[in-house]
Chain A
């Protein structure tokens, strides 16, 4: 007797978003990225369409980082003083679908780079790579409100994603996005209710539903990922149930979180039971990315090229619709 798999019939689907603008659309991107549109929970192809595959953004910092474990840093030491070279390597050698450019140099407690300097960096990166760009501030609200309008202007027409709008600080970034035809990251501290509230605030300001990417602040594996998974899953379920304020595609930051954990950097002599350092960070990053993928994440922001390859292969398998 054939087994009938019970299927769910969702009445709504995830919002579609397209990042990047080609020449025909007023930008200079040679490729664009379309995400979202899912009609069911992740990869349940027997139940609904998944018209767009999840994508991988590789993180590029606008200045040399410190404290990166060697298995990771060895891939970027030749480029990490130069965000242009870094972005190029991420696209040409590691196959990034997008670049996530973090303007860490703007941090007032660090290099305190100026708005002009940041804008210049963005222009250079846009000239150097053809993939769409996520532009993320330094995390200091006052400084970001100063630099983001300049950065947005420097990228006007390119349909970049500006990071990020929070419950307490969203007006400046929305104004820039509206003025320059950009998209925004809608950020929440791992709280589904705040996520919904931020989306109300930004749509009240005029942001279109198709110009918003959701971002819950999550840790890496071992740092509450089960709870994070449940929040992302609840968000996706609400989307499929028709909640327009939670229907947007989702982004997860994986690389920076996974490589912070002890397991990614503690030397073998100190933790022999953890196995070779060589592999640990890669596995940690790939595992963290995979679990968020299955919660519904559409954009994974990653670092290590091998982890990227593992996860991309996994996405290929899951999108093929064939038994794995």
Chain B
């Protein structure tokens, strides 16, 4: 599976403080730690930490690039901030994200071609988050079509089926699992799938446990990537074990170690 480390996000107190103080050290440590723990890419999100979103994004990308080589997932709803992040990342990036709304796709999808990088597409349209899997699939189809028209390879598109908190919307986790499966029938080759894992446990108790169980369920339903916390060792162990159980990774006695090598 493709692990996108979630920790460099201004909603976390340590990141917020570092952004506000312009102190690179904590951010760079988080970058190094997440990659060492197995992250294949790092999400970069200014969050509520600064009113100068563009400047802060640029700064975060630049200091992270100094210490790690993995692609940086530019996480913002603002097209200008997105461009600034992609520029700063010099193309070693992932666009996080577009929705299925026409005018948003028109602004964001061409950036994937311009910067030659993968793109995450959220199954949200003008009416918001669809109620069920079928609703999500309709939006997914539109995103796939828009990408195909622009010549973007399906291996470079990640459909995000928008997982929502289980304590508030308990039927959604299952709808997302259905969506993950149905996405594989969208095209040949099909797009990849991704979820923002921590959203499933937002506001609930036993967050790590909920995240861990849901990730395994999602992997069993074909999930390709997750924005998650690689520093949660038990979460990573669960993902690694799931990959072995799904015959996606050859078993050996030290299988937990093998993945991390």
Residues of B near A196 (CB, < 8 A) are 250-252, 258
Binding site secondary structure of chain A: helix
**CB within 8 Å of A: which residues of B?**
155, 249-254, 257-258, 261
Q: How far, in whole Å, are A203 and B257 apart by their CA atoms in the complex?
A: 11
Q: Does A243 contact B (CB under 8 A)?
A: yes
**Contact B261–A194 (Cβ < 8 Å):** no
Which residue of A193, A238, A244 is within 8 Å of B261 (Cβ)? A244
Contacts of B249 in A (CB 8 A): 243
- Cα distance A9–B156 in the bound complex, in angstroms: 13
A194: chain B residues within 8 A (beta carbon) = 252
Asked whether any CB of chain B lies closer than 8 Å to the CB of A85, the reply is no
- Interface positions, chain A 203-222, Cβ under 8 Å from B, are 203-204
Determine if B250 and A200 form an interchain contact, defined as CB atoms under 8 angstroms apart.
no
Please tell me if the beta carbons of A192 and B250 are within 8 angstroms of each other in the complex: yes
A-side contacts of B254, CB under 8 Å: 197, 200-201
Report chain A residues within 8 Å CB of B261.
200, 203, 244-245
Residue from the list A9, A234, A244, A245 in contact with B252, Cβ < 8 A: A245
Which residue of chain B lies nearest to A237 when distances are taken between CB atoms in the complex? B250
A159 to B148, CA, bound (A): 50
A234 pairs with B258, CB closer than 8 A: no
CB-CB contacts below 8 Å: A227-268 with B: 234, 238, 243-246
Chain A 180-200, CB-CB to B under 8 Å as 1, else 0, gives: 000000000000111111001
The answer to whether B258 touches A245, judged by C-beta atoms less than 8 angstroms apart, is: yes
Shortest C-beta distance, A230 to chain B (Å), equals 13
* Interchain nearest-CB distance for B240 vs A (Å): 12
What is the distance, in angstroms, from A26's C-beta to the closest C-beta of chain B? 28
CB atoms of B257 and A200 under 8 A apart: yes
Closest Cβ of chain B to A99, distance in Å, is: 32
Q: Are B250 and A193 neighbours in the complex by a CB distance under 8 Å? A: yes
Q: Does B251 lie within 8 Å of A200, measured CB to CB? A: no
What residue in chain B is nearest A203 (Cβ atoms)? B261
CA gap between A204 and B258 in the complex, in Å: 10
